[in-house]
Structures are given as C-alpha cells and as structure tokens.
Amino acid sequence: MSRLLLVSNRLPVTVKADKDGVSVVRSAGGLATGLRGPHERSGGLWIGWPGDVSRLTPQQRASVEAQLAELRCVPLYLSASEVSRFYEGYSNRTLWPLCHYLIDRIPEQERDWDVYRKVNERFADLVARHYQPGDTIWVHDYQLMLVPAFLRARLPQARIGFFFHIPFPSSEIFRTLPHRADLVRGLLGADLIGFHTITYVRHFSSTLMRLLGLETVVDRVAYDGREVRLGAFPMGIDAQAFENLAKEPAVLEEVRTHREKSSELRLLLGVDRLDYTKGIPRRLLAVQRLLEREPTWRGRLRFVQVAVPSRTAVADYAAYRDKVDELVGRINGLYGSVHNVPVHYLYRSFNERQLTALYRAADVMFVTPIRDGMNLVAKEFCAARPDEDGVLVLSEFAGAADEMGDAVMVNPYDVEGMADALEAALEMPEEERRTRMRNLRARVKEYDVHWWVRSFLDELQATPTPPPRVEPA
Ligand code: ADQ
C-alpha cells in the first residue's frame, strides 16, 4: 500500500484549550472515521487547517504541534483574513450556494477569489513539501478545487485523487461563475475525480464540454497529455458503529425516556447543521400544515428538530436562524397547549450517543434538504434501527435519494405534498415499515464508509501514472 497523503480544509481534530493546557482530540465525523484506517496503515499524513489557534501561547502552540504530529497530522495555519475571505468568503458565500443552485445568494461582486487561489496554492506547496515518490494524494472538497492543478505543476508524476462532497450543479448554473474555467482546470489536475452520484458526474462532463470543449468518453477525459477519470462513489457511513451504539443499554435507556415522555405522542425527528440548504422552514411548514388541516393530529405529534450551529460568521446563516426561530415560535403559539408544544427545537450539537438514541426513538425521520450532495443523516438513521422500524421521509434532491428508493420520497419545495407524506408515514402499516427499513438497512450496511474509501482508492491506484514528460533537447 502506498503512503496516503490526505488533504482537506479542516484537519479531523479539535483543539481544546483550558486551564490544564491544550489537547488535540480526534473528531468523530464520517470522513475522519472512514479514512482513519488507511491513513494509519499506510503511515501517511493528513494535511489541513487545525482551526483557530491564534489565542494560544507559543508553548501551547508547540504542544498542539507535537500532539498533531503524533496523530500524523500536518497543520496549515490560516490567518484571520484568510478565514474570512477564503473559507467564509469564496468557499461559503460563493461556491456553496452556487453548487446548491442558490445563485441569488452569491455576492454581486466577487472580492475573495485571489485569496481562495492563494490559499489553495499554499495547500499545494505544503503537500509538495511532504510528498515522497510513490505517495498517493487524496484531496477533498470544494474549498480546495485548485489544489490538484497546483500539485500537478509541482509533482507531474504524482497520483492525485479528488472527491467533491457537495452537488456538482448543472453546467447552466456552473457557467455563471466568473472563474468557472479556472476551477474546472484546477480539478483536472487530478487523475481521478469522484462525486457522490452519476448525475453530478454528468453535470461535470457537460461543463467540461461547454467550457473547455473537452469530451468525456465513457468515464475518461483526455486533457493536457494525460487521462483524467471521473466516477460516482456514493459515500457511506460507519454503519456498524451506529448499530452498536443503538444496542447499548445506556442508549436504550435514553430511547425509553424519549418514548415514555411521548407515550401518547408520535415522535418526528429532524437533525441537521443549521444551513439554508437543509430545507428546515418548509419542513416546519409541512408540520404546521398537517396540524392545520387534520385537527386529530393536534396534541399527538412531537417534532424534535436538532440543529447544530454552523458558519455563524456568514450573514445569511444568521438570517436563516432568525427565520427558523420565528417559524418554531409561530407553530408552537398556534398549536401548543399548556402541557405540550408540537415543536421542540434544539439549537446545539449532540454527541453520537444522543443522536443515536433520538434516531432509534423516532417514528418518522424527516430529511428534506432543498439540495444535498449526499446527506449522511438519512443513512445514520437507518443504521441506528436494528429494530427494523421507523420511516424515512427523504428529499428527492439529496444525493442519498439515488440509493434509498425505499424511503418515502418528497419534493422539499412542496409543503402540501410533504404534509401528505408525513401523514402517510405516520399511518404506514407495520409490515410495510419493516420491509422498507430492512431494504434500506441492507444497502446502508453493505455500502458503508469503508466500502467508499476502498472503492475510491482502488480506482485511483488503477490509474496509470502519467508518463514522464520528455523535454525537447
Ligand atoms: P453536511 O452538509 O454537513 O456534509 P451530512 O452529510 O448530513 O451534511 O452530515 C452531517 C453530519 O453532521 C452527520 O454525520 C450528522 O450526524 C452530524 N450532525 C448533524 N446534526 C448534528 C447535531 N445537532 N449534533 C451533532 N452532529 C450533528 C457535506 C455535504 C453532504 C455530504 C457530506 C459528506 O453537504 O451532502 O453527505 O458532506 O460528503
């Protein structure tokens, strides 16, 4: 196995500072879990931003570096201005809304491109510094779209993979970007470019044709004397870990508490980052609509919406938060009673145990993003249901919809339709619930995060390394 150099905007760690000193803790996210095995086994490195360390003393900084080195992580520090212009700016104010088809949210005048480019170049420089011949490089996500080309210029012989975690939009959307061709050329520095679904691969191919006149033949594109492969690799989760958690006595105890409190009530659940792509307002409106038109459900539903604070420095996220707060208040004001309110809104992060207890207790899981690259929450819910019960209501605009045909599919823009789906889910006969959940679980367990990592890396290893360039004499 060749040494693996992983490159992502964030390192899979959290730096915590308190009176006892600083500690670097591994994060539990899906990507971190899936890549941990290959990262450690290959003796490789993970290169990325460790988060804001500007308030640490020089001694604390040194301690962080030592702890990172132990975890085989290499930090790339971002200045406050880089965080604001590369990360919050170009990545999250322009690329994020664009790829989710929300072009009206993009600033009218682009001011952060230069910083985006510069930071991508710094990433490539740092990777090149650590590269040894024979290494495999795997770059992740939309914040680093230019890194493959910068790397190719520095390391013509390297084997480079790239995975795009968010939707790749239709070329009609992508070509609105002023720097569209630079971004696409940036990705073409890789040997293999992976997306979650075949639809995103097609969108990327038509973008290549429109912008650069490049034709994709089956899954290959000839570019700059090399061959670049494209592929769909739907990301999975660590299904076994969620299943194990769902069977733990302490978790089952918590499930009982959730259910006891609502023995008369049916539990609906939403779990998301608080992001305007996740479709929370229309989801709330669907609950409101159901209560409005079917008085028999009043007092019999409890909708728990857990939302992790996210990108709070970006203005659109603050406005979105206000909107959600207002809707929750309105629905509870209309349909709450002295004893009970229909919406329980929790604006905070939950640990995996707490999430699993909620997944396992829910009657209906409501996953209704207006666009989502994949959506791992839908998969976590199924993995956490060894009891083979619970109904998944899923947006047809989540990448996960391609694989999870046994969910109740909804158009997240159609409030009335979502209210219908919610009611159908609540009234679904047990046998149908079990059949659907069994099929969903089989899929989630077979195509888990380990399968995803293996299939991407196998394909990347199979790509021929580019022939050495012969310089004219
Ligand atoms: P995200 O947009 O973050 O990821 P998602 O795939 O759903 O979306 O992953 C969210 C993760 O955060 C899940 O593992 C979930 O458990 C966790 N989470 C959500 N709410 C939480 C809460 N309140 N407390 C604690 N944890 C919470 C991006 C893309 C997705 C794509 C992934 C992976 O936008 O489409 O699936 O990357 O490629």
Residue 378 CA, ligand 1 centroid: distance in Å: 10
Q: What is the mean pLDDT of the chain?
A: 95
Q: Is 306 in the pocket of ligand 1 (CB under 6 A)?
A: yes
How close is the Cα of 398 to the center of ligand 1, in Å? 12
Catalytic residues: 165, 372
Q: Cα(41) to centroid of ligand 1, in Å?
A: 26
Average pLDDT over residues 126-145: 97
> What pLDDT was estimated at residue 1?
76
Rounded to an integer, the average pLDDT of 43-52 is 95
Task: Find out whether the beta carbon of 269 lies less than 6 Å from any atom of ligand 1.
Answer: no
| Structure ipTM | 0.98
Can you tell me which atom of ligand 1 is nearest the CA of 348? 23
Q: Whose CA is nearest to atom 22 of ligand 1?
A: 349
- pLDDT tens for each residue of 150-169: 999 999 999 999 999 999 99
Ligand 1 atom nearest to CA at 29: 14
Task: Please tell me if the CB atom of residue 375 comes closer than 6 angstroms to any atom of ligand 1.
Answer: yes
Burial of 236 (0-12, 13-18, 19+ CB in 10 A): buried
Instruction: Name which of 19-33, 86-100, 306-320, 387-401 the model is least confident about.
Output: 19-33
- Residue 29 scores a pLDDT above 80: no
Closest ligand 1 atom to residue 165 Cα is: 38
Ligand 1 centroid to residue 29 C-alpha, Å: 8
Regarding the beta carbon of 380 and ligand 1, being less than 6 Å apart is answered yes
Q: Is 376 close to ligand 1, i.e. is its CB under 6 Å away? A: yes
